[in-house]
């Protein structure tokens, strides 16, 4: 799963909106949740953290005000997650992005 997330190269999709990225990856993440979530739910949390870090890296690259500011980018993602919990499949399943991680 980690190789798949790295293979997506989310941080290089700075020309796409966050909604576009969610459309690209949600079907795969939903599949992981449906398959592994029934048997080994806790194994998904490190994968979700890795995905949130990739999204944070994308935000830092896309928006100038977030460049070089990991915590600010994480807080920005958290605000989006609170506003629209259904945007990414893993945000419904877990606690969403955590600031500072």
Instruction: Kindly state whether residue 55 falls inside one of the protein's structural domains.
Output: yes
Token pair in block for residue 41:
């739910």
Instruction: Kindly state whether residue 99 falls inside one of the protein's structural domains.
Output: no
Instruction: Kindly state whether residue 13 falls inside one of the protein's structural domains.
Output: yes
- Residue 32 CA to residue 100 CA, distance in Å, equals 25
Which residues are CB-contacts of 76 (< 8 A; sequence separation ≥ 6)?
59, 63, 66
Contact (Cβ atoms closer than 8 angstroms) between residue 101 and residue 49: yes
Instruction: Kindly state whether residue 85 falls inside one of the protein's structural domains.
Output: yes
Instruction: Kindly state whether residue 36 falls inside one of the protein's structural domains.
Output: yes
Instruction: Kindly state whether residue 100 falls inside one of the protein's structural domains.
Output: no
Average pLDDT by stretches of 10, the chain with 101 residues: 96 96 96 90 90 96 96 95 92 69 51
Per-residue pLDDT, 41: 82
Per-residue pLDDT, 43: 87
Question: Terminus-to-terminus CA distance in the chain, angstroms?
Answer: 19
The residue range of the domain holding 65 is 2-93
Q: How many domains does the chain have?
A: 1
pTM of this structure: 0.90
Instruction: Kindly state whether residue 64 falls inside one of the protein's structural domains.
Output: yes
Instruction: Give me the phi and psi of 63, to 5 degrees please.
Output: -110, 125
């Amino acid at each position: 799963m980690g190789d798949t997330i790295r293979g997506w190269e989310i941080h290089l999709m700075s020309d796409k909106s966050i909604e576009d990225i969610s459309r690209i990856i949600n079907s795969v993440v939903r599949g992981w949740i449906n398959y592994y979530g029934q048997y080994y739910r806790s194994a998904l949390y490190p994968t979700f953290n890795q995905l949130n870090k990739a999204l944070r890296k994308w935000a830092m690259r896309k928006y100038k005000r977030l460049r070089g500011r990991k915590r600010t980018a994480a807080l920005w993602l958290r605000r989006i997650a609170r506003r629209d919990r259904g945007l990414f499949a893993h945000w419904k399943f877990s606690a969403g992005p955590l600031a500072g991680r």
